Amino acid sequence: MSKQFFPTKMQGTNLQVAKYINVRGQVWRSYFGRTRKTRLRRAGSLHHQDLITVERSAYLDIGFPSGTRLRLMEKTQAIIEYWNPADTNSPVYVNILMGNFELIKQGQRGKVFIIKDRHLFSPAHRPKDKVFVLRLDSSKLGLAKTDKQLVKKALNRPVDTSNKVLPPSTIQSGKTTTLTNKYIEDVITSQKKNFQRCQANAIRKMGKVKGTVLVGFTIQPQGKIKDVKILQTSINNQQLTDCLISVFKICRFQKFTGAPIVRSYPLSFE
């Protein structure tokens, strides 16, 4: 199971996120990272960072303040958390670690999101496109072939913040109401050297860096990224994830007139 990103200062909070309103069969709740679990019966509250486990031939219906209702299907395990625990009006994220869900009722949009199969999406809009993964190969960094002093000097360079918006020719001309997936991928891929610098610094301290990091973010109509967060990571290195977040924050996109775009992006370190 991938490690989830829960800031230490937020661990142990008891913020109510949703309510379970219908329980069938054996369904368990525990705080992520703890072995003790309790069985859910009838109806009650779910809290920030609850880990839900639905056994075979069982299901759990969850109601959110936004009016959205979800059903976690049998043999499903999921974590529920606020995007920003300091704001109870923040969107809620249901991280499906295994299994599946059904949308019973769509409530206010932009308030509940699903994280599943390296995608971040609204419950009503399951992604059909193949996940694009930026792969970063440590063997191409040339660390072993380069003088140690030169390596140290190169790795200590700050993240390149001279990021520029890709030419509008990469997307439809004129004002656009949204951004295409390919355009978003092109902008993020253009930061590959900065991602490799994050990887190289982590390798220097850890010896090796292998795994996948799933990053969630929101693109504002002004073309800037906000609300960058590590959704899942199999690499336990705070320095690496902090560096990756800083790279995403400097990405710049063409301005558009539609609603903010919520996306996720996997980075694979090999």
Q: Using DSSP, state whether 246 is helix, strand or coil.
A: helix
pLDDT value at residue 153: 47
pLDDT value at residue 165: 56
Angle at 214 between CA 210 and CA 219, to 5 degrees: 140
- Domain map of the chain by residue range? 3-121, 134-269
* Local confidence pLDDT in tens for the 270 residues of the chain: 444 444 434 444 578 999 999 999 999 999 866 778 999 998 999 999 999 999 999 999 999 999 999 999 999 999 999 998 888 889 999 999 999 999 999 999 999 999 999 999 999 998 887 889 999 988 777 654 444 443 444 445 555 555 655 554 444 555 688 999 999 999 999 999 999 999 998 888 877 889 999 999 999 999 999 999 999 999 989 999 999 999 999 999 999 999 999 999 999 998
Q: What is the DSSP letter of 2?
A: P
Distances (CA, A) of 187 to 135, 166, 180, 226: 15, 7, 11, 15
pLDDT value at residue 6: 42
pTM: 0.80
pLDDT value at residue 170: 47
Distances (CA, A) of 16 to 46, 56, 64, 153: 6, 27, 10, 48
**First vs last C-alpha separation in the chain:** 18
pLDDT value at residue 24: 96
Paired sense of beta strands 76-82 and 134-136, if any: unpaired
**Which amino acid does the sequence have at 63?**
G
